[in-house]
Amino acid sequence: MPLNSPVINVMVTAARKAARKLARDFGEVENLQVSRKGPGDFVSAADLRAEKIIFEELSKARPGYGFLMEESGTVEGPDKTHRWIIDPLDGTTNFLHGIPHFAISIALERDGQLVNGVIYNPVTDDLFVTEKGNGAYLNDRRLRVAARTRLDDAVFATGIPFKGLDWHAKFTREIDHIMPQVAGIRRFGAASLDLAWVAAGRFDGFWEHGLQPWDIAAGVLMVKEAGGFVSDINGADKKMDTNGIIAANADLLPHLQAMIKKAGRAAG
């Protein structure tokens, strides 16, 4: 891993430690899958266990930093300039169904600016790391966003709203509008990895409504450090807005923004 600043090492150590447990729990989920009750409660416990491991590791290595965690919420520290933003298991639905596509996502903010990110998929052992000003890497490989400029060639990832969310109609309008103009659309089910894959040039772009800071913090920095661009779902430059996100290279971002806007307007 060419990025080996002390803080990156701290983050990678915490992610790998939690990942070992998560990977064992994933094996157990595969067994529980066949039981009638299913692995639901077990998965919630696995999620919490992973978060606890990450919290303990990071607290030990950097006492005083604050936390924003998906499961445990906010923990203030005496150091008001640093904050960890953590999703201990991104892609819970995949995990629950025995689908090996999920990740641990850890970001570090300094004075409100994202400065480091780690996204780790324990099943594939894909370790994405990034540092502000120093690039983004997948294992040993420096990442660049895709160079494609034409919508006809572009494969975009997105998120399909879950049951209980109220933007199903908006989503189908977007798909209706975007599908005929692009090479393909994918829904893999872990927003952190969607962004990491944009950084790696696998996806040409990504959009999703209604994400939370822990879903995207590490990924936003990853995309930018790989030469990509990120906006909120309305095309404004508000990176961690919970209204959602659009990410792509410089050529495709305006096209993706325009298509999403137009699909929204079609609603009347």
Smaller CB separation from ligand IPD, 51 or 135: 51
Candidate ranges 200-208, 212-220, 224-232, 259-267; the one touching Ca ion (CB under 5 A): 212-220
Q: Is 58 annotated as a binding residue?
A: no
* Residue located via tokens 């990895």: 193
**3-class SS at 40?**
helix
- The gap from C-alpha 95 to its chain's centroid, in whole angstroms, comes to 15
**3-class SS at 93?**
helix
**Binding-site member from 203, 215, 253, 257 for ligand IPD (CB under 6 A):** 215
Q: Rule CB under 6 A: is residue 211 a binding residue for ligand IPD?
A: yes
CA-based diameter of the chain, in Å?
53
User: Quick check: 43 and 88 in contact, CB under 8 A?
Assistant: no
Distance from C-alpha of 187 to C-alpha of 99, rounded to nearest angstrom: 13
Smaller CB separation from Ca ion, 57 or 215: 215
**Binding-site member from 51, 57, 109, 215 for Ca ion (CB under 5 A):** 215
Q: Is 111 annotated as a binding residue?
A: no
Q: Rule CB under 6 A: is residue 25 a binding residue for ligand IPD?
A: no
Per-residue x/- track, 171-210, ligand IPD (CB under 6 A) = ------------------xxx----------------x--
Structure tokens at 199: 């950084």
Buried b / exposed e along 200-237 (16+ C-beta atoms within 10 A): bbbbbbbbbbbbebbbbbbbbbbbbbbbbbbbbbeeee
Q: Rule CB under 5 A: is residue 90 a binding residue for Ca ion?
A: yes
DSSP-assigned letter for residue 194: H
Find which of Ca ion, ligand IPD, none residue 25 binds, CB within 5 to 8 Å per kind. none
Task: Provide CB contacts within 8 A for 60, sequence distance 6+.
Answer: none
> Could you give the angle at the alpha carbon of 259 between the alpha carbons of 255 and 263, nearest 5°?
170
Smaller CB separation from ligand IPD, 135 or 197: 197
* Closest of 182, 226, 178, 218 to residue 201, by C-alpha: 226
Per-residue x/- track, 45-84, Ca ion (CB under 5 A) = -------------------------x--------------
The residue ranges that bind Ca ion (CB under 5 A) are 70, 87, 89-90, 215
Give binding residues as ranges. Answer: 70, 87, 89-90, 215
Give binding residues for Mg(2+) as ranges. Answer: 70, 87, 89-90, 215
The residue ranges that bind ligand IPD (CB under 6 A) are 87, 89-92, 159, 189-191, 208, 211, 215
